[in-house]
Chain A
Amino acid sequence: MATGILNGKGRIWLIVALVALCLVPFALPRFYVYLLSIILLYGLFAMSNNFPLGFGGIYQLHHAVFYGVGAYGTALVITKSGLSPWLAFLVGPLVAAALSLVMGLICIRLSKLYFGMLQISLGSLVWAVVYRWYSFTGGDDGIHGISVPDIISSYQGAYYFTLVVTAVSLFILYRILKSPYGSTLQGIRDNPVRSAMIGVNVKRHQLLALIIAGFFAGVAGTLFVVVDNTVFPDMMFWTLSMEAVIMCLLGGWLTFLGPMLGAALIVLIRTFVSTYTVYWALVLGIIFMLVIFFLPNGVLGWIETLFKGKTKLVEAKE
């Protein structure tokens, strides 16, 4: 269940957090602002993965494809056509959503792990095409030096753009989760047979979840283009998808903001541990194992239970 972060105390914390995030470029050096932009867009990427995974019960195991295709869509429109970059920012996510629809139509016929496996195979196919098609996608070199509008080309501009787009995207995702469609989707996650028996067309609802997830992954990919000005085939390699799933599980896949926290943890571990050792993934693996063992609901899930436990105690005392 998504928690009520938009009412009461939650709203105050939200405003405090947003103000703090707005002030960051004035307080921190360039490197940290860049790092925070990356955390935000990875967070959006992970949260869009968690939309079908944690709230729809769909094994969305190759989400990076939509992230990568969104980024390539934006990059190609900017570099190969004369269209305005602002328009490109819209094309990228739409292409990702369209791909999600096509892959979804094929994969949704299967369920659970079979769905995930088929998605990984089809996604790897897309990756292979992008990796080899030198004349169009730049092959394994990718595309570099993508120019974005002046106003968001500075590192502060890119940061603010990322912050605003991420905030708006999360707000939309949150509204969707709280809508009748969101409730229905969570019902399907808990019990598809029962959902069908109360009159819900399960497959079609799942397909819409995939399209929404694909769109917002495309948004995250587009934000990467803005922040980093590059795209490369590794952005849609399956290892990144696994990273996204780990972000969801680490942060708490049944919570709304959990994947954002997971993304922050992974980006920070990668950035700071990799200055000491190339085996940063080993550290991540150990942390991940500990979390799975001791906090099966993820870090944020654990914090939420703590909070709920406390409120219950207070109620009991009163």
Chain B
Amino acid sequence: MKSFDGFKAVNNANLDVQKGEIIAVIGPNGAGKTTLFNLISGILKPDSGQVLFKGEDITGLSPHEVCRKRISRSFQVVNVFNRLTIFENTQISILSRERHTWNLFTPSSTLAVDETNELLKNVGLYEKKDSVSGSLSHGDRKVLEIAMALGGNPEFLILDEPTAGMSPEETTRCINLIQGLREKFGLTILFCEHDMEIVFGIASRIMVMVRGATIVQGTCEEVRCNEAVQDAYLGGSDVCLM
């Protein structure tokens, strides 16, 4: 549970994720999806409740400690190093994973270069690697977000609205990327999204949040025709979502 000045942003949310799954969290604006992600990734500390990862209690760890457990995330609002190039952005993430950030005297230009290039090729940003990230299009910056999260070599990847604000082509590219990640690296992915087409297209299970609470958790079919979900989303109409 997490409250801000008495407003309960996340209250009675529960979610369990199995290895290798793609889980979607959906819910109306202000349902507490991002707050939930912030609680998991350590940016916020819960007032009560627990976050377990592989059986280990990670509740209340700071973000860099959570990251060390091989949990990475991207942000809904683009959060990259604006004055650095795409290459540097990604490289720093890899260097951090390899615990090189206290190294004062080896030139960065000799470290993790191949791995950075490889990762950028995987996400399709290699051609633009020397552009300063602040000058890129919104879609490319969102992909860079994912690349930086991947630099930590995560087992568990949290994506907060990965396609928000993207053009249709960029969205397709991003979705293919996410699906490819699961297939290639066996990643477990948790994401939230407003576009139901994407949600039902790639999620193996869905969790629905309304006013900070989990109302349903289940497979796409279970969620699709659930009455509580229809109440929350469609004001009680009796059509199935999608």
Contacts and interface: CB of A to CB of B under 8 A. Distances in A.
Interface of A: 1, 175-176, 178-184, 186-187, 189-191, 193-202, 205, 208, 254
Interface in B91-109: 91-93, 95-97, 100-109
Given A191-B79, A191-B80, A193-B43, A198 B108 contact: no
Contacts of B91: 183
B93 A198 contact: yes
B124 interface: no
Contacts of A202: 64
Contacts of B148: 194, 198
A197 B101 contact: no
- Name the residue among A201, A205, A208 with the largest chain B CB count within 10 angstroms: A201
Contacts, number: 112
Given A190-B82, A193-B79, A198-B149, 11 more contacts: A1-B85, A180-B100, A181-B104, A184-B96, A186-B81, A191-B79, A193-B63, A196-B64, A198-B96, A199-B64, A200-B101
B102 A199 contact: no
A183 B95 contact: yes
Contact of A179 (B68, B89, B107): B107
Contacts of A199: 64, 67-68, 96-97, 152
Given A187-B92, A194-B148, A196-B63, A178 B79 contact: no
A183 B105 contact: no
A29 to B, nearest CB: 40
A190 B84 contact: yes
A11 to B, nearest CB: 15
Given A184-B92, A197-B72, A199-B152, A179 B81 contact: no
Contacts of A197: 41, 43, 63-64, 67, 72-73, 75, 79, 149
A189 to B, nearest CB: 8
B73 A178 contact: no
Contacts of A208: 102
A1 B108 CA distance: 13
B84 A179 contact: no
B109 A178 contact: yes
A198 B81 CA distance: 12
Given A184-B101, A194-B79, A179 B152 contact: no
A179 B103 contact: yes
B62 A180 contact: no
B225 interface: no
B151 interface: yes
A181 B107 CA distance: 10
- Name the residue among A182, A191, A198, A201 with the largest chain B CB count within 10 angstroms: A198
A200 B62 CA distance: 10
